[in-house]
Amino acid sequence: MHYQGESWGYYMPTSSMPSDTMERVVKLASESAVVIFSLSSCCMCHAVKRLFCGMGVNPTVYELDQDLRGKEMERALMRLLGNSQAVPVVFIGGKLIGSMDRVMASHINGTLVPLLKEAGALWL
């Protein structure tokens, strides 16, 4: 698991434009095969991280509470998902998968593993 929290505070310009934030989210999401936006205190985030680790996947995790622009990003994610819970949210291969319920649903119906393989996160 890669945690990429603090490093962002140093070179990103502090722009508060929502579209910028969303752009940033998308940019981050496409830089790794599996990206999880999380909060270090959130237990459901812990569950989703354990799920991927249990499958042998190495996700890239962004702890938004450890990011200077974390609050903005949380708001952007809330808008993206259309609910009051921003995290956890999972991107695979740059594509939005969703919150915990969508991740689990796709695992149960067998679509998660092919997606992971396609994104290069799983080799078996």
Partner 1 sequence: MANHNIPYAVLHGMNVPTSFIHQEGSSFDFGELEEAIVLQGVKIRNDDEAKAPLFTTGRPAATLEMFPSWPMRFHQTPRGSSKSGGESTDSGSAVNTNSSKTENQLEPESPISTKKTTPLDQQQGMASDISRTGTSIAKLPQEKRRGSTSEKQLDAKTLRRLAQNREAARKSRLRKKAYVQQLESSRIKLTQLEQDLQRARSQGFFLGGCAAAVGNISTGAAIFDMEYSRWLEDDQRHMSELRTGLNAHLSDSDLRIIVDSYISHYDELFRLKVAAVKADVFHLLTGMWATPAERCFLWMGGFRPSELIKMLISQLDPLTEQQVMGIYSLQHSSQQAEEALTQGLEQLHQSLIDTVAGGPVIDGMQQMAVALGKLANLEGFVRQADNLRQQTLHQLSRILTVRQAARCFLMIGEYYGRLRALSSLWASRPRESMMGDDHSCQTTTDLQMVQPSQNHFSNF
Binding-site ranges for partner 1 (CB under 8 A) = 41, 43-44, 46-48, 50-51, 54-55, 85, 100-101, 104-105, 107-110, 112-113
Residue whose CB is less far from partner 1, 13 or 54: 54
Q: How far is the CB of 26 from partner 1 (least distance, A)?
A: 26
Q: How far is CA 122 from CA 45, 54, 58, 66, in A?
A: 21, 12, 9, 28
Q: How far is the CB of 10 from partner 1 (least distance, A)?
A: 30
Residue whose CB is less far from partner 1, 50 or 71: 50
Q: How far is the CB of 55 from partner 1 (least distance, A)?
A: 6
